[in-house]
Structure formats: C-alpha cells, structure tokens
Chains A and B, each alone.
Chain A
C-alpha cells in the first residue's frame, strides 16, 4: 500500500518538472506558459500545506505570489527573477528527495522565501490593468463559469445536443457567451467541442448533474474564476481529464512478471524442439496456439513496462543550461523524440550514461565562443539529444558540433597512459583509435574538472549499455563534431536474434544489428589488398571470417561458398562469413559476468531451446581492420 507520502512525492515531482520546463520556456521569452507555471506552484502549495511540509509550503506560497504579480504585469520578468525561481525549484527538489528517502524536508526555506517576496514587492504602486491574455477568450469575471463540452465522436445531430445542453444550463443561470457563436452552433457548424459561458451561482456539481441529462456528451470541463485562455487549457490540461483508469504496480512485480514470461519463452522453444525431434504432428495446432499466446503475453508485459523517454530527457535542459553557463559556453540544446518509449528499466539505466555523454559534449566537445568564432563556426554550439525508433530497437543519439575527436591525440594519450604500445598505436585504424576513449583508465582531460570527473565516464557508459543488450557507436570528425549512437533493445531481456554456427559452435547475433543475409558463392569473393571482399549492389564490402575475428583458428579455406551476414558497424556495412545459418529465434539475454564480460566481441549469453548456452555477439566491439567501403 502506498502511503500518502509516496503519492505526494511522485505527484509533486511531476508538478515540479512542469514548473521547470515552464521556467525554461519563460526564460526564452515565451510568456504563454505563465499560467501553467502559476498553476503548478499553486498546486504544490496546496499539496505541501495539506501534508504539513511547512518549508515547501512557504516557498511555494512565495512563488505563487511572485508568479501572480508577474502574470498581472506588475513585476517584470528579468533574469534575476528567473534565477531566484530556479533557486526555489532546486530547494523544493532537495526537499522531495529528502522526503522520498524517508527523511524530513531538511531544507531551510527562509532565505529563498525572502528573496522571492522581495521581488514580489517590487510591484509598481498602482495596479496596472491585468495583462491581456492571448487567445479568443477573456479572463473570466467573478460569477461566470466556462463550461467546455465535447460531444461523442459518433454524435450525429450535433446542433441538437448543443441545443439540449444550452437548455439545461439556462435553467441554472444566464448564458453570456458561447464559442463558437450561436449561429455556428445552430447550424451544427463545429467539430465536436464548444464552450458556454454561464453566469451562475450554481455549483460545479449542480451543473454536471444537469448536463448528465443530455446524452452523447463525452467530456465536461468546468472552469471558474482564475482560469484564463481557453487555448492553453485545451492544449495543456487535456491530459487531466482522462477517463482512463490506471493502477499502480511496483517495479518488482513487473520484473518478476517479465522473468516468468522469459522462462515461458524458453520452455516454448524446447517444446518446439521436442515436437520436431519426435515429429509429433498432433501437437502442431496446440503449439502454434501456445506460440501465439506467449507472443501476446510478451507484448502485453513489454507494453506495461514502456515509458516515454521524456521522463528522463526532461531532466536535461536544466542541467545543460547550468553546465554551459558554468563553463562559459553557449549551447543550443535540442531534444527530439521525447515520446519514444523504452522499457522502464532500460530507461532508468540510461539516465546516468546520458548525463555523462552530455557533460562530455559540453565540457570537451563544444568549444568556447571565441574558439568557435575563430574557426569560422557560430558562437553558439549545438547539442542534440534525439530518440527514435528503428525497426525493433531504439536509437538514442547524443551529438554536438564541437571540436570532434582527434584520433592522433587519443592515440598519444593512450600510449602515454600505457594503455597501448607505440607499435599498436601505429597499426591502429581511425575507427579503432576512436574506440580507445572507451578504455578504462582513459581520460583525455588535461586537468580533472569537477564537471566530468576523471573522464572515467565513457567506459562505464559503454558497459552499462552493453549490459542492457545494446550497443554504443561513435562517429566523429575533427573540427566538425561528435556523435554517439546508442542502440537499445525495446525490451530488456527478450530479443530476436539470428542464430549461426561457426567452428562447431552456435552464436547469436541480435537481429537489430543484422542488415542482410547472403549466400555467397566462391566466385563472388575477390581479394583486394589482402582483404576479402564482395560486391553488394555496386558497393564493395569487406568480408571477415567470423571465427578469425573471434580469435579462433580456422581450419577451413577462407575462400569458399558460405553464408555471409551483413551487419552495420561504425556506420559501415561489413560481412561476417559463417558456417551455417540456423534460423531466427527469440532469445532471453543473460548477461555475462566476471572475466567474460571484458572479452571483446560478446554482449551476453543465452540459453537455447535445448538447454545449450550460446554466446551473443557484440558487433560494435569486434575488432576488424580498417576499411572504407567504396
């Protein structure tokens, strides 16, 4: 059973987030968010006062006063005002964090409250006329309620329903205005929604009771007093009036459900194997049905665990802003794809890695305004955080247009740190050198800044992503910028893979890495500069013997007919020659532990239907020589 406190904390976090986003918008000059910011502060005040959290209540009370004064045009929006509001937000966040850990508020509200009230008091002597609110609707006078009505999607005689609604409301007061106007309503010349301004002393409840008599009304929203612009409310508070019922479920429950489904998938595979082995045709229908059921079950559980990335992404604008300010850099931070969904555990786990990557961008990637201008770039650097869905995985891109990664510099530092020898450095390709930044112990910071710590972030980032069954790729060009591409599976544990055999062993390649599969005949393989290649639609791709890549000696002649799996690696396509294609299968990923984890080339292991263990390949970390496909 969740206590009031838990609900308070989680709901307050949401409002606080809303506040933060709003303040950021306000800072950019967008004043339409004022109402929403005010409302968030107001709600927080109510909630914290009810719970008896006096520190929070005091701060939010002062915030509300200040925001009200700003809304009315009595106080000007300066950067000092915004800074102090952010200060208040930080303090509130600290309080919530403390509360969520089982502690008291643990904050001292005095200082900030005083600052806030000082600003609120700088209001001019005379009350100026209330700021004009954009939109078609005037601010509601006292005693007038705005009733927003939405008709059922399949309502046919709309004008009659509107007429009936009017009829009922007239019994309760005087209709002063309606949107759209009466003529349009009578002609049925509106989409599905309309608003009625009713001068009444009736309560919201009475109004609803009356309107209940009219059929085909799907939504009724009543606003009184302080509500303003119809436009804002429609777009922003649309989420409040959901008639969708939700249930809160603990994460442990979801995890356990996930595990059970995973085991079910494995067992199902075994059943299929047994059926095939003994050729029991009678089982066909039932097994097919079980297959369908487990797939549906899997999908349902996956859906339950899906959360929009915005919950993590929303933290970042503030962080980026503060960081850039601290570093004296000008950054334009763009976020795309906020509504892409990820499994909640994956989402939880990528938060920190993304922080690291973003910090790296700002700290090491983006140059100072002076440097940028000197190299002919614009003063303001660009940092992009983008999420997008590609086939059956999600890509998260962190990119900047900064100085890029200089492979020579990287190699030098690696040699200095004893991570690689001079000889190895010479032999290294551009691609391989770039990947050096992911080596533990690597830090390209000349001095240790407290921003990105000791630069230990990147190897930890990579391991974290690998452990989730994903991959990290890096593209960079000196002087132009850097781009990290994180590929994450939609679901943590179960994923589709291509099974292949090489050297008598079975390996799994996650399907999201696989581009294409070819059956290559001997004559299709040629050798260019000592490297075996094939032609694919006009392009030349290198082909590597998988076993050799894995460091295993191969007893077979390299040049023969074999299946070749085309995968994407570091932005290029390469071919992996294997012995046999076994098929596609859903696999449950179990992570590798201990020593095996550091072995290049593997992302985890899985248990096959027959109980055997096979290793899952990690394409990104397979070592291949340098090649540029032409």
Chain B
C-alpha cells in the first residue's frame, strides 16, 4: 500500500494513474501539474513514490527529479514516458529516478514497478 504523488500536466493521465493505483490498494495522496508544483507537494506530503511525467511546462520532469533528489536522496521517483523518449528517460535515471513506465499504461507493468519500490 503505497502513498503516491502523481505529477503530470495532463489531467487525463493523472486520472488514469489514479484509477489503476487506487483500484489496487494504493493511495493517491496528491497531484501536481508541473515540475515546480511537484517539488513543492513532495516537500509537503512526503509520499512513498512519485510518478513523474517528463515533458511539462514550467519545470520539466528531469529537472524536478534533480531538485527532489537534492532534498531527499532516498526519494523514489518513477518516470512516466512516451515512446521515443529513451534519451530523456536515461537522463532522468542518471539524475536519480528509480524506474520508468511507458504510456499507454499496462496495468500490470504499472503495478510491477510501483510495488517493487515499496
């Protein structure tokens, strides 16, 4: 049972993740629409896991990872990427993200990744 912070600029994507995770016994403790908001909410809520979209306005996902990792080196961040974003996912991993999931989501994969981190 993980406490998850969902960061994505698309409400639809946030809703999908919320559904998948909620259905499987995880708790969505907060949402954010961009990287800056994501970092802020992380400080406030101290979630177990963060799902982080890559391309977002204001502060993008990779930068957000850096900032969160600087605050909390134990942070568990999962990147949410689309096809073709290999280089960016690698960059995020290098910045400290733990794993990634690809859109469109496969429920089993999302769960595999989230549950592995808890």
Contact = CB atoms under 8 A, between A and B. Distances in A.
Interface of A: 154, 156-157, 159-160, 163-164, 167, 188, 212-216
Contact of A160 (B90, B112, B116): B90
B106 A160 contact: no
A216 B81 CA distance: 15
B113 A157 contact: no
B99 A215 contact: yes
26 contacts: A154-B106, A156-B83, A156-B102, A157-B83, A157-B85, A157-B86, A157-B89, A157-B100, A157-B102, A159-B90, A160-B86, A160-B89, A160-B93, A160-B100, A164-B93, A164-B99, A167-B93, A188-B86, A212-B116, A213-B116, A214-B99, A215-B109, A215-B113, A215-B116, A216-B109, A216-B112
Nearest to A187: B86
Nearest to B81: A157
A156 B89 CA distance: 12
A529 B93 CA distance: 89
Given A156-B83, A160-B100, A163-B93, 18 more contacts: A154-B106, A154-B109, A157-B81, A157-B85, A157-B86, A157-B89, A157-B100, A157-B102, A159-B86, A160-B86, A160-B89, A164-B93, A164-B99, A188-B86, A213-B116, A215-B109, A215-B113, A215-B116
A215 B106 CA distance: 13
List the 9 shortest-distance A-B pairs measured between CB atoms, nearest first.
Answer: A156-B102, A160-B89, A215-B113, A159-B86, A157-B86, A160-B86, A215-B112, A163-B90, A215-B99
Contacts of B90: 159-160, 163
Nearest to A164: B93
Determine which residue in A156, A159, A164 has the highest number of CB atoms from chain B within 10 A of its CB, and name it: A156
Nearest to B83: A156
Contacts of B102: 156-157
Contacts of B83: 156-157
Contacts of A215: 99, 109, 112-113, 116
A133 B1 CA distance: 51
A596 B109 CA distance: 64
Contacts of B99: 164, 214-215
Contacts of A157: 81, 83, 85-86, 89, 100, 102
Which bracket fits the contact residues of B?
A: 10 to 19
Interface string B10-37: 0000000000000000000000000000
Interface string B82-118: 0101100110010000011010001001001100100
Nearest to A158: B86
Contacts of A167: 93
A157 B106 CA distance: 14
A330 to B, nearest CB: 58
A210 to B, nearest CB: 13
A159 to B, nearest CB: 5
A216 B90 CA distance: 16
Contacts of A154: 106, 109
Nearest to B85: A157
A214 B93 CA distance: 12
Interface in B58-102: 81, 83, 85-86, 89-90, 93, 99-100, 102
Contacts of A213: 116
A156 B90 CA distance: 14
Contacts of A156: 83, 102
A188 B83 CA distance: 12
B52 to A, nearest CB: 15
Nearest to A159: B86
Nearest to A212: B116
A156 B83 CA distance: 7
Interface in B26-56: none
A625 B99 CA distance: 78
Nearest to A152: B109
Contacts of A159: 86, 90
Nearest to A214: B99
A362 to B, nearest CB: 56
Contacts of A214: 99
Contacts of A212: 116
A216 B111 CA distance: 12
A156 B86 CA distance: 10
Contacts of B89: 157, 160
A159 B113 CA distance: 17
Contacts of A160: 86, 89-90, 93, 100
A516 B93 CA distance: 67
B87 to A, nearest CB: 9
